[in-house]
Structure 1
Amino acid sequence: MEFTQVKLQVEAGVATVSLDRPDRMNGVTAVMERELYAAMRQADADPQVRVIVLTGEGRAFCAGMDMAELEDLAPEDIYEPAKMRPFDTAIRADFQSRYIYFPALVNPVISAINGAAAGLGIVFALASDMRFASEKAVFSTAFSRRGLIAEHGIAWLMLQTAGPGVTADLLFSARRFDAGEAKSAGLIDRIYPPDELMARTLDYARELASLASPRSVRVMKRQLWDARFQNLQDVVTQANREMIESFRSEDFQEGVRHFLEKRSPVFTGH
């Protein structure tokens, strides 16, 4: 697929997907929505890719839905089915909705939040597995100041990290908050100087791609997202089942060999 509003680059096991409307602060359009989904699925299906990094071109990560497009949006659009290919039926339906599909991807997704993140921008970030941000990143849920509500599962996503009081504050007020406050609330994981964000994020992603078993990461990603719906007994039962399969895997054998032979691992993901 030829992309016009996103960019996709693959290098050293890492796919970088960039929202590419810098003149509009990477505001989401119908075209960008389709292209982002296609790019993420294409990257996830690439056997060379083990980590996906999502970022934005220019000074913004994603300022939410493009206001020009939002103005003309029919109310019934929310019920339009996303143009999505079915994921594995073993994956929860919760992770296969129009904007919340990053958890269904095989590979871990890291959002590198290089600037403003609002509305859908925060939804994309919270649907990622990890979030690294520039010191200059600024955030706003935005919805209440547009006469809207907590869209696309953000109430659930934000509650997972920030707790009810902080979530209520940030959703009700839609006030701006900075990277420091976002990290204190648990909404982001790391903060870097603006000129170091992408280099540090890609260094981390490349290390993850080269040193960690992709099979292990794939299974652990599923465990982490599933655990949000499980009790402790369910988590332990799933872990025990997966542990047996891990012992039978090629990556386990390679994990032992490379440690004993004092060399870098050569994992296959099997």
Structure 2
Amino acid sequence: MELKATRYEIDEGVAVVTLARPKRRNAWTGRMHTEYRWILDQADKDPSVRVIVVTGDPEGQAFCAGADLGALDGHAEKGRYDPGTPQDIANPGYGVDPAFDATFAYHFGVGKPIIAAINGAAAGVGLVLAAFADLRFAVTGAKFTAAHGRFNFPAEFGLSWVLPRIVGLSHANDILLSSRVFTSEEAMAMGFLNRLVAPGDLMGEVMTYAKTLAVGVAPGSARETKRQIYRDLHRDAANSVRAAEALLEEMIKAPDYREGIKAWGEKRPANWTG
């Protein structure tokens, strides 16, 4: 696919996806969503990719400023919501669990950890994108908002499901009912972020962390642990234990288990096969 609204590169096992519409503050469009899903699908299928990082073009001075104003105007003119995506859009993460087979929920089915490197404002769908990542690093002074209240929209794309699970009900109610702007410092205090970083250090810290995951964690372990986490949001404790035991019986037979034991004993990095 020709990439017009995004960029994609791989650096030592880490796929970096850049939302690249800097003149529009990396605002989201149907074209961007189409490219983004195609990239995630490629990265998920690529055995050389162990971790995925999502960020915004720094020239846009935002992570993602939400839906493009032109798209919002288009919805009003048509009198209906139009995602602007083709019928044959890629479906990364689909088919793993029915609970993941929906827009943005597909992140949970992607078998690699996804880190949002939030280098500026994250509004509307930009906040959604950050929320559905597995880990979130952000720069100091960044601004966040759900934004939907000012457009007579509902909470978008499952934010009403995911935010209470990240920050708790009280903070989620504050964010969603008010649509107010809050800062990355507040987001860190709420528990929305994993790490708060000075602007010039963000990508360095994210890539160091991502490469540590890529080298130190067996790909099968990363994949199955991620799926356990999101499936267990719907399980009781006993079923979580039973599922973990079944996975252990299966995964202990894999070559990466033996390689992990050998590498640990020899005090060297493991040569994972995935």
- Normalization by structure 1: what TM-score? 0.95
Which residue does 2:216 correspond to in 1?
211
Query: Would you identify which runs of 4 or more consecutive aligned residues in structure 1 move more than 4 Å?
Result: 78-82
Letter aligned with residue 212 of structure 2: E
Mapped to 1, the partners of 2:197 and 2:163 lie a distance apart of 22
Which residue does 2:33 correspond to in 1?
33
- Cα offsets for 1:127-185 (capped at 9, x unmatched): 11101111122101101012111011000010101122211111111111111110111
Match of 1:65 among 67, 92, 110: 67
State the identity %. Answer: 36
Spell out the pairing of 1:77-226 with structure 2 (5 A cutoff): 77=82, 83-85=89-91, 87=93, 89=95, 91-226=96-231
- Cα offsets for 1:166-222 (capped at 9, x unmatched): 111111111111111101111111111000000110011011101111111111011
Distance 1:100 1:79, change over 3 A: farther
Mapped to 1, the partners of 2:250 and 2:185 lie a distance apart of 41
Work out whether residues 19 and 61 of structure 1, in 8 Å CA contact, stay in contact via their aligned partners in 2.
yes
Work out whether residues 138 and 196 of structure 2, in 8 Å CA contact, stay in contact via their aligned partners in 1.
yes
Distance 1:82 1:223, change over 3 A: farther
Work out whether residues 258 and 265 of structure 1, in 8 Å CA contact, stay in contact via their aligned partners in 2.
yes
Residue segments in structure 1 that go unaligned for 5+ positions in a row: none
Query: What's the offset of the Cα at 1:261?
Result: 1.3
Letter aligned with residue 258 of structure 1: A
Distance 1:87 1:191, change over 3 A: closer
Which residue does 1:259 correspond to in 2?
264
Mapped to 2, the partners of 1:246 and 1:40 lie a distance apart of 25
Mapped to 1, the partners of 2:194 and 2:229 lie a distance apart of 16
Helix, strand or coil for the counterpart of 1:23? helix
Equivalences, count: 268
Letter aligned with residue 123 of structure 2: A
Match of 1:230 among 232, 235, 246: 235
Distance 1:226 1:193, change over 3 A: same
Work out whether residues 132 and 189 of structure 1, in 8 Å CA contact, stay in contact via their aligned partners in 2.
yes
Supply the RMSD in Å over aligned alpha carbons: 1.7
- Normalization by structure 2: what TM-score? 0.93
Letter aligned with residue 22 of structure 1: P
Helix, strand or coil for the counterpart of 2:260? helix
Work out whether residues 116 and 135 of structure 2, in 8 Å CA contact, stay in contact via their aligned partners in 1.
yes
Work out whether residues 31 and 84 of structure 2, in 8 Å CA contact, stay in contact via their aligned partners in 1.
no
Query: What's the offset of the Cα at 1:76?
Result: 4.3
Which residue does 1:239 correspond to in 2?
244
Which residue does 2:3 correspond to in 1?
3
Distance 1:253 1:88, change over 3 A: farther
- Cα offsets for 1:73-127 (capped at 9, x unmatched): 24243698782447563x2222121232111111110000000001101111111
Which residue does 1:56 correspond to in 2?
56
